[in-house]
């Protein structure tokens, strides 16, 4: 984040704090008719500062910064709830002066609290949208897909802390789960659940096994959507990859991809392999073994943990590389693609809406 962004956020926070102190402790009946010049200036500048911060935040998110909207939503909801309670018990602005004649902060609490509370409840306990930033779940999910996530499928959890307070259900084999990345909980990952607590997951001679039983699998002919293939990878200056090279990489990989239809639990989906040769190898640090198509490995899932894989086998960083997903890191179950937007300045489309199996 740039120095200018830090200065903008710091100045806005300071101005906002001064405005709140004035509204709660220094505001009187003359504040509207005879405003203090300093507070008058703050009243005029604050909306523009907040707008500038919002634009800067959107820019930073587009640049790839990790940001959880709940870090704004939860404090804002609690703050307006506090202001609402203070008016009901201490200030009595609305009761005394009537609706529309309260001090601005109290009027804002009455206006925004119901909206923020509804959004917070929906996002935290019912439904939350997530964007797919990578190709690790191709062909089930493509870069630019927006998925709807069932937030209560794996238990109700407090926002921000993710602490479970009501155990409603647990992941099932084959679910596409959203969770906090174990090595960096500020990141959300999405993968398919393969192994449940106590399961033994193994890979022998190109076949996946769960508790000694082979996962039903058959090779199928599949033609991926050209537009989806061309945007699987994005320009990346750190890798000297421009737009044309990104498109070429997606097309080149699709040219050697092969697909298998697998059935795990009640889910049937396509698994993608990129290697044109069956002895293609990758070394997985967690398993301490090669995880190529013909390589053999085995792992037992500990209690309160899950083993997950990406459907795009050779382009997925998953449990083979960094380990298990603790139950405490689960966020919800992805069940529907409700929108797709090509990265960059492009309009969204609903042509690719579909159920996630």
Q: Which residues are catalytic?
A: 136, 191
CA distance 77 to 113: 6
Q: Phi and psi at residue 232, in whole multiples of 5°?
A: -65, -35
Contact of 198 with 301, CB cutoff 8 Å: yes
**Nearest to 272, CA basis, from 254, 258, 290:** 258
State CA 232 to chain mean position distance: 18
49 HSE (CA, 13 A, CB side) = 20
Other CB atoms closer than 10 Å to residue 164's CB: what's the count?
15
Q: Which class for 228: exposed (0-12), middle (13-18), buried (19 or more C-beta within 10 A)?
A: buried
Rounded to whole angstroms, how far apart are CA atoms 253 and 229? Answer: 9
């Amino acid at each position: 984040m740039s120095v200018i962004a830090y200065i903008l956020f710091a100045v806005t926070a300071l101005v906002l704090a001064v405005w709140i102190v004035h509204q709660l402790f220094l505001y009187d009946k003359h504040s509207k008719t005879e405003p203090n010049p300093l507070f008058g200036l703050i009243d005029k500048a604050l909306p523009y500062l907040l707008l500038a911060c919002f634009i800067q935040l959107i820019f930073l998110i587009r640049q790839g910064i990790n940001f959880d909207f709940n870090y704004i939503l939860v404090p804002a909801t609690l703050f307006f709830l506090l202001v609402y309670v203070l008016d009901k018990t201490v200030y009595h602005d609305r009761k005394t002066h009537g609706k529309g004649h309260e001090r601005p902060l109290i009027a804002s609490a009455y206006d925004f609290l119901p909206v923020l509370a509804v959004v917070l409840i929906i996002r935290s306990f019912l439904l939350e949208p997530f964007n797919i930033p990578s190709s690790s779940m191709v062909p089930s999910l493509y870069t630019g897909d927006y998925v709807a996530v069932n937030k209560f499928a794996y238990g109700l959890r407090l926002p921000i802390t993710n602490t479970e307070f009501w155990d409603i259900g647990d992941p099932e084999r084959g679910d596409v789960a959203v969770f906090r990345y174990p090595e960096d909980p500020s990141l959300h990952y999405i993968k398919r659940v393969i192994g449940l607590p106590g399961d033994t997951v193994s890979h022998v001679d190109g076949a996946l096994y769960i508790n000694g039983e082979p996962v039903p699998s058959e090779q199928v002919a599949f033609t991926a959507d050209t537009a989806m293939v061309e945007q699987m990878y994005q320009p990346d200056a750190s890798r000297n990859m421009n737009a044309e090279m990104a498109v070429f990489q997606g097309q080149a990989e699709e040219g050697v991809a092969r697909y298998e239809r697998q059935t795990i639990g009640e889910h049937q989906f396509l698994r993608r392999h990129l290697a044109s040769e069956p002895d293609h190898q990758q070394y997985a640090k967690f398993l301490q073994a090669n995880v190529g198509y013909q390589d053999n490995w085995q792992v037992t899932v500990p209690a309160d943990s899950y083993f997950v894989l990406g459907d795009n086998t050779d382009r997925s960083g998953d449990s083979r590389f960094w380990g298990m997903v603790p139950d405490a890191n689960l966020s919800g179950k992805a069940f529907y693609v409700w929108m797709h937007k090509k990265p960059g300045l492009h309009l969204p489309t609903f042509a690719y809406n579909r159920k996630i199996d």
